[in-house]
Structure 1
Amino acid sequence: MPVPEFVLALRSKIGHDPLPLPGVIAVVLDDHDRVLMVRRSDTGEWALTTGCLEPGEQPAAGAIREVEEETGLDVTVERVLSVEALDLSKAPNGDQVYWMAIGVLCRVIGGEARVNDDESVEVGWFAPEDVPPLPPHQSRCLARALSGDPRAITPGAAVDQ
């Protein structure tokens, strides 16, 4: 998966040290409330569409961009699902990242789902009960999207108590 240029520039200065980065998780639903999933090329696992925000990029714009880049679909963002600081993660190359993950609910407005870049090897629609296992933070986003609860998941906030 291509590493954004701004991350490469930062890594040239800090090496593999922990880097806080903003990211998006797009829960994309179609008219039948099926869930869009991509099979990642790096792990072979199914996942929601995710990606790193560019400097100054708004989360909704980043989600729309990532879905189009990865699946060829045009989507609109309906609402925020979650804002969550994730635990430290470590890439195979040793890079460490603290993701600030912003989950958004998206609806398809055009296009046909397909593999559209090298980040995935397969794209598919799943009924909610047939969604493959997901990382916990993605599962929380999907559950919130399907619940109809308009509140965003914000761990540690009074709303989640």
Structure 2
Amino acid sequence: MPTPDFILSLREKVGHDLLWLPGVAAVVFNPAGEVLLCRRADNGRWTIITGILEPGEEPGPGLLREIEEETGVRSKLDHLIHVGTTDPIEFPNRDRCQFLNLVFRCTYEAGTARVNDDESTDVGWFALDALPELNKRHRMLIELARTSTGVPVFEA
């Protein structure tokens, strides 16, 4: 899905200035214990599945929407694993954002992992001992999801 309309409207007013946005992310596991990743079209990096919530959208359903929109995979939410703030991000078009991010562990239900929109150039399942290059935060979130007890981790 392209940039949401509400962000485009905000960008008309604030230009490339830093926006504080609600983000969601998923660490999705299949029955083989592999994790679902996508390669972002804007910067070529492999990531867990991430997205921006629409105004008024609940985090759980919003994340399930994002997973299916981006990968063609239908999942179920297991539980919230992490609440945290990302570092500021600058996109190739110079837009700057920072996210309050809610991260969930999810389980595959149906569908074939594939590029399902223009946000990714590749999508796939990866064994935990054969992950592509990922940023440190996403590696930490995958490990947290793997060992999660159901109690979310957050800065106290």
Query: 3-state DSSP class of the match of 2:68?
Result: helix
- Give the whole-Å Cα distance in 2 for the aligned partners of 1:10 and 1:147: 39
Does 1:38 find its partner at 2:38? Answer: yes
RMSD, aligned CA: 1.3
Does 1:123 find its partner at 2:123? Answer: yes
TM-score by length of 2: 0.93
CA displacement at 1:3 relative to structure 2: 0.9
Give the 5 Å matches for 1:53-72.
Answer: 53-72=53-72
What one-letter code is carried by the residue in structure 1 that aligns with 2:38? Answer: V
- Asked if the contact 2:27–2:104 (Cα under 8 Å) also holds between the matched residues in 1, the reply is yes
Q: Percent identity?
A: 42
Q: Deviations over 1:63-118 (max 9, x none)?
A: 10111001111111110111111122212222111111111111111111111111
TM-score by length of 1: 0.91
With 12-21 and 133-142 compared, the bigger mean Cα shift is at 133-142
With 144-153 and 5-14 compared, the bigger mean Cα shift is at 144-153
Q: What residue is the counterpart of 1:49 in the other structure?
A: 49
- Asked if the contact 1:33–1:127 (Cα under 8 Å) also holds between the matched residues in 2, the reply is yes
Q: What residue is the counterpart of 2:138 in the other structure?
A: 138
What one-letter code is carried by the residue in structure 2 that aligns with 1:57? Answer: E
Give the 5 Å matches for 1:1-161.
Answer: 2-155=2-155, 157=156
How many residues align? The count is 156
- Asked if the contact 1:25–1:138 (Cα under 8 Å) also holds between the matched residues in 2, the reply is no
- Give the whole-Å Cα distance in 2 for the aligned partners of 1:116 and 1:28: 16
CA displacement at 1:148 relative to structure 2: 3.1
CA displacement at 1:24 relative to structure 2: 1.0
Query: 3-state DSSP class of the match of 1:134?
Result: coil
What one-letter code is carried by the residue in structure 2 that aligns with 1:147? Answer: T
- Give the whole-Å Cα distance in 1 for the aligned partners of 2:85 and 2:141: 13
For structure 2, the residue ranges without an aligned partner over 5 or more in a row are none
With 94-103 and 131-140 compared, the bigger mean Cα shift is at 131-140
